[in-house]
Structure 1
Amino acid sequence: MKKLILKIGLYGILFVVALECLTRIFYLGEDKPNRFLDKNNVEKWVPGQEGYAMTGNRKQNFIKFHINKSGYNSYHEFAPTKDKIEVALVGDSFIEGFHQPYARSTGRKIEDSFKQQLEVYEYGYSGYDMADQLHLMYSYKNDFELIDYVYIKLKFNNDLMRSKYEVSHSRLNMQSPLNNLLKKSKLLIYLTDIGFIDPIKSFIGKTNAFIRNNKPQKAAPAVDQNKIDKEYLANFESLVDLYGYDKEKNVLLLDVEETSPLFITYLKENNYQYIDFGNKINHSDKPTTLIYDMHWNNYGRKIIADLITEDLRSKMNLNK
């Protein structure tokens, strides 16, 4: 019996090792870049990292990334000067571009439209909200003062939940020694990405919750959307008061269809510039998002780039 258990254990280890090798050979487990807080308490990626981001359980998206010295996925190093025309795109994973070749990003498409007469810096980081974005711009205000035009992506229903910036420990906790050790296994990363681990995590979470509190859960209260909209608007005003906002230089990128009319009215009455990308993205004759993910595909990025290009030409008094 003892020998049987030892054999089962040995074969089990060999089986796991074989799966790990196959996962690495066929590159099924994506590379997970490391995060950090810089000297200004801005969360970003550790500079100098390269690897491949993958989405889908059949490598539907397999894209190389390159983290520049500023901590963002870009083929550019961010070095704004008074002598060049520079544009900044600030936002979350849609700007970050782990779903696209970094050399064919939204920013690169804008540069191509101007025949490389300007540079586009993409300050994109998965999970950024408006507090992260304005805090970033405030922390690096010397750079942003040199940048000529700034476009800030904003999703009203989840980017204005905070009235001030605070470090997101939930994301940084993923850099714990244990998680860093687990990331060494491509097999574990692959199983996590395809959802194989989710039932186990869910069971553990439910068990812990049951142990902590074995009382029936109360029904969720009714949602007062008008109250929420007012709260988000107040948060926007608070962030602008805290970190400042250049109405002449900054332009919001948003989907009007998904934005509260209260907020749109506020923007118009207070002379905030914005571009509505929703109409063209949502009602295009061709798909604008990835099949397995709601991030923009190549055509979707072209639409965004064209809208920004049109706005820039208007500001720079250039003909098409």
Structure 2
Amino acid sequence: MKMTHLSQKNSFKPKKMPFGRYIKNNYDLYIMLLPALAFIIIFAYLPMYGVLMAFQDFNPAQGIAGSPWVGLKHFERFFSIYTAKQIIVNTIVLSLYSIIVSFPFPIILALMLNYSVSKRFGKMVQTVTYIPYFISITVLIGMMNIFFSPNYGIVNTVISALGGTTQTFMSDSSWFRHLYVWSGVWQNMGYSAIVYIAALSSVDPTLYEAATLDGASKLQRMRYIDIPTIMPTCVIMLLLSLGSIMGVGFEKVYLMQNDRNSAISEVISTYVYKVGLLDGRYSFSSAVNLFNSIINFTLLIFVNKVSKKISDISLW
């Protein structure tokens, strides 16, 4: 009887607090949440009303409510043009190349800084790698035009001094993807490493002490302590990157683009800008951009489900 009574007592679960009462008890926290909630509603959800333009022949004089409906006409039109396939391929290849190259470097940098013997040197390296993040894209492209100039650029000067032939890097289509990706690695590596440095700071120091006493090398400590610790963070960051695989940034690509590399550099974001704002085909550009968003959303759900099934780590 006593055991039965104890088991019943242990299996007792407290009743959940009603939602209204929970809000009343924590009203101050919800008041602090209101500005962020209002920002999201005003700038993220209300503009989604404009998605209707993708299914209309939008006329600014008639507005969204008065413009005639055309269904999937603009989607069919986009897939029927001969450049659509090349634009989609350019977007995917550039994004995948960027993810594959740029994803490991912040992790490697964070691990190296974590094992830096001199803390002062580690902070200096972290600052030096972090500073490029604050350089604007426009200034970065200007620096690249100077460094890679065929006439006076430092890169071509070194090539000429070594007996090589100068290259037109910024206008050569074969160099576009490499310059885009590796300049992004240089600019964002230090900033991205902060997330992993913060994750490594949560490691229990006694684990390092025990591993050192057992004779573990630095590489073994990285493999068996650090990497398992930051693995959930790595997976989440990778999921977010894969979820925006079709969302290659517009500004940098557009500034690097010219007539000679446009066959490789034309991506969905630059194409939407040209046909939407420059040519004034608002409905067509809305349809292309909506297609892009749907692909990103679908990919995010898919990779999240796969990650949850394989590693039990997911965004939700």
Task: Please indicate the TM-score interval, normalised by the length of the shorter structure.
Answer: under 0.3
Provide TM-score, normalisation by structure 1: 0.25
* Greater strand fraction, Structure 1 or Structure 2: 1
For the pair shown, the structure with the greater C-alpha radius of gyration is: 2
* Greater helix fraction, Structure 1 or Structure 2: 2
